[in-house]
Every structure is written in structure tokens, then in C-alpha cells.
Amino acid sequence: MFLMGCLIFTVVLVAGLMLIAATRAQHMDELSRLSKHARKMAEKKPLDEMESIFKVERDDYLSRLLSQAGLEAKYDAMKTQWVCVAIGAGIGLMALCWASAPELSILGLILGFPIGAAGYIIYLQQLAKRRQQKLTEQLPQILESMVSSLKAGSPVLETFRVLAETAPEPIRSEFKRALVALQLGKSFRETITEMSTRIRTPDFRLLAQAIFISQDVGANLADVVATIAEAIRERFKLRDYMNALTAQGKATAVFIGILPYGITCLTYVMTPGYIVPFLNHPIARLIFIFLIIWEGIGFWILIKMTTFEV
């Protein structure tokens, strides 16, 4: 009986293996195709990772501000400096208040952090503003070079390559970055859109819209760019004319804004007895700080009233 059971087990095992082999043979082609597809997908994975570099760009306020200032590569360092400046301003204002009025040290610490953070942001905004002004001033010359290249029959990509090599800084770095993005496979429309976010001027946004429209409807891009360049030059003339007309108003606003501070300092130097008793009272010090802030707001309003955007 034992031998009979072993024989039956062997027969069943052999029959099962033969059935599995026959079934596998029927689907061998499908399994081979699936394995080849899996290998191809594994080979394409690094390419997909390379394409993902376009999807990890930062879009927070600090990164946009740094990109406009041309400091986007220093994002981590600038963010660390921002935190350090905020903490340092809080500690410094607390130490100043502790030396002059110990009861205001906590208030100085609380106000120091936002003042330091806001001051650093204002500093970055000024850097971005100066860079944007340079970009705006260089734009008409760049557009003329673009018109010449397009009329000579060069494609847009070749025009970008010429501008990335011959244009002055800082606009050359923008075209160089756009050229690299195009060579890596990014679409032309997306590249121009990103340039318009870094170059925050209405003239470049107008140029971007003109390029998009010319691509959609098939217009002559050289003539469109030439018209935009002429419009920008006329706007520059109008801006200089408006600055000349408002120069006296700006000077008056600066004089009126500085006058209260000047009178207070002059009174303190000539007759300290009028100011020192006021500064020695803790409530009067709070009032004095409030008056300085209020006067600063009024000075900002005066400057805005005499500033016209053209």
C-alpha cells in the first residue's frame, strides 16, 4: 500500500508539473512582452526624474522676491539671514529699551521681531526694484536686437541664444536662463510666462502677450516687437516729462516730512529742558513712538501723492 501511495503521488506530481508547463507555454509570449515593457519603464525612470526639475520650483513670496532681485540661487542663505535679522532686531530693540526704559523691554522684544523681518523684506524689495528698473531700461535695446534678428530670418530660439550671449546684464542672465530651459525641453509659452514673473514690468508682459498672440494667429512677430519697442520709448519720454513736472512737489513733500523731526532734534539740542521731561515719562515715550510712526505714515502718503506711474 505504501508503494502504491508513492506511485500515485509521483504520477499526480508529474501530471501537475506537465499541466503547469503547458499553461505557461501558452502565455509565454505575453509574459515576455510584459517583462520587456517593465524593463523599458525602468530605463525611462531617470528621464522622468529629470523632467521633474520643472515641478520643484519654489513659488512662495520670498522666492518670487529673490527671483526678481536675481538672488534666487541664494534662497537658503537669504532665508537664514531673514530669521537672524528678525531675531537680532528683537534682541537689539529689547536691549535698547532696557538701557533707556526697563519697563518697555518686553514691548521692544515683541515689536523688534516684526520690525526686523519687515525691514529685511523692504531691503530685498529695494534690491528687486533697482534690478527691475535696469531691466526696464535695457528692454528697448533688447527689443531692437530681437527685431533685427527676426527680420534676418532667425528663429526665436536662435534669437534667444544671441541675446543670451550679447545682451548686457542683468537681462542677459534672464535670457540665458530661458535658453537653458528651452534646451531642456520646457515649452516656449511656459518659459516666457516664467520670465514675465521674474521681470515684473508691464513692458515685458506686453511683449509676452504679443508673442503668444503672434504664435496663435500667425502674425509677423518682428513688426509686433518693433511696435512695442517704439511704444516703450514713447512711454519713457512721458515718464521723464512727468518726473520733471512733479519734481517740485516731491521736494516739498520731503521737506514737510522731515520738518517735524528736524524741529524736534533742534529743540532738544538748543533747549533740552523742553524735551527731557517729556521723554522721562513712560507714557510720554509711548506717545512719542506713536507720533514718529504716524509722521512716517504721513510722509509716505505725501510721497505717494506726488508719484505717478506711467
Q: What is the pLDDT of residues 135-189, one digit of tens each?
A: 888 888 888 888 888 787 777 778 888 888 888 888 888 888 888 888 888 888 8
Where along the chain do its domains lie?
A: 61-130, 133-229, 246-305
Q: What is the pLDDT of residues 96-142, one digit of tens each?
A: 878 776 777 787 778 888 888 888 899 988 888 888 888 888 888 88
For the cut 50, the answer to whether the pLDDT of residue 55 exceeds it is: no
pLDDT at 114: 86
Please tell me the distance from the alpha carbon of residue 252 to that of residue 246, in angstroms, as a whole number.
10
**In terms of DSSP H, where are the helices of the chain?**
2-26, 28-51, 61-69, 75-100, 105-151, 156-166, 171-183, 188-198, 202-217, 221-245, 247-270, 276-280, 282-305
* Region of poorest pLDDT, from 23-27, 90-94, 225-229, 258-262: 23-27
Q: What's the predicted TM-score (pTM) here?
A: 0.61
